[in-house]
Structure formats: structure tokens, C-alpha cells
Amino acid sequence: MSNGRIYNHSGRIASISGVISETTGTVSLRAVFPNPDRLLHSGANGSVLIPEHYTDVITIPQEATFELQDKVFVYKVVDGIARSTQISVSSISDGKRYIVIEGLQPGDEIIASGAGLLRDGMRIRATGDPASQSEGSTQK
């Protein structure tokens, strides 16, 4: 809604304009929502959230990543050496974790935190009990 709150009723997209604004990248659409509480008014503005559903994905802590020229990287541990690896993440996040779209496979070991303190090629030694480490990650 225009006040930033989430509207309590789900709607559906009825039509979408085929024209994309070159300046803003936006597109016009018409959505239909039930309005039993009469909170929606003609001419009002708001943002439409379109849900995305992911299955069988890898999630990682955002603190395990670093950005370089609008690209997201993690340090994978390969034979005890930190190797920077570019990954693609979903634009949707909870502010704490990323959904990894490409760049990691199940079983890959990553540095879970402190990515900004590492450099490519650094030797990594796991500390603590591996069973107590979360996400199968190795920590410096």
C-alpha cells in the first residue's frame, strides 16, 4: 500500500502493458484485489509484490559474500586454499541470507564469515569442531 503496509488480501494481475518506460524501467499493470475493508481507493498508488517460489536451493549467510563491481563473490575452500568464486543470487533476500542461483554446488565448502579479511589463494585452516559449524562451512 502507499503507506508501506502489506495489504491483507491477495490479488491477481488482470492485464499488463506491453510498454516499458525507458527512463524508469517500469511497466503499467492492472491488478484486481478484493476490497472488503474498503481500504483501496480509485487512483491510489502502491507496489505489487509478486511472490517467487524456490525449491532445492542453496542459501548462504550474506556475511559470507563480498561484492566487486556489482558482482557477488564467496570464498570456496578448495584443498585448504581460499578461492574467490562468483555467484548469482536472487534479488529477493531476508537481509541475512542469500538464495544462490548459480556458482555453488551442494557440498561446496565456503568461508561463512570474514570474507572481507581474506585474499584469493590464502591457506585456510578449519577451527573448532566441524560438527558444530553451520551450513557445512569452514571458518578461518
Q: Tell the CATH topology of 58-136.
A: 2.40.420
Summarize the confidence of residues 100-107 as an average pLDDT: 94
Task: Give pLDDT, residue 93.
Answer: 78
Place of cell 581474506: 118
Place of cell 503507506: 3
Alpha-helical segments (H) within 80-135: none
Question: What are the angstrom distances between the C-alpha of 101 and each of 60, 91, 92, 93, 98?
Answer: 11, 10, 11, 12, 9
Q: What are the φ and ψ backbone dihedral angles of 116, each rounded to 5 degrees?
A: -70, -15
Measure the CA–CA gap between 19 and 79, rounded to whole angstroms.
Answer: 51
Task: Give pLDDT, residue 103.
Answer: 95
Q: How confident is the model at residue 136 (pLDDT cuts 50, 70, 90)?
A: very low
User: Any residues with CB less than 8 A from the CB of 12 and at least 6 apart, and which?
Assistant: 31, 32
Task: Give pLDDT, residue 42.
Answer: 83
Where in the chain are all domains bearing CATH 2.40.420.20? 58-136
Q: Is 76 exposed, middle or buried (0-12, 13-18, 19+ CB in 10 A)?
A: buried
In this structure, are residues 107 and 79 in contact, taking their beta carbons and an 8 Å threshold? no
More confident residue, 51 or 10: 10
Summarize the confidence of residues 19-30 as an average pLDDT: 86
User: Is 127 a residue whose pLDDT tops 50?
Assistant: yes
More confident residue, 127 or 10: 10
Summarize the confidence of residues 126-132 as an average pLDDT: 55
User: Taking the model in full, what pTM does it have?
Assistant: 0.59
For residue range 71-89, list pLDDT tens digits in order: 999 999 999 999 999 999 9
User: Is 45 a residue whose pLDDT tops 80?
Assistant: no
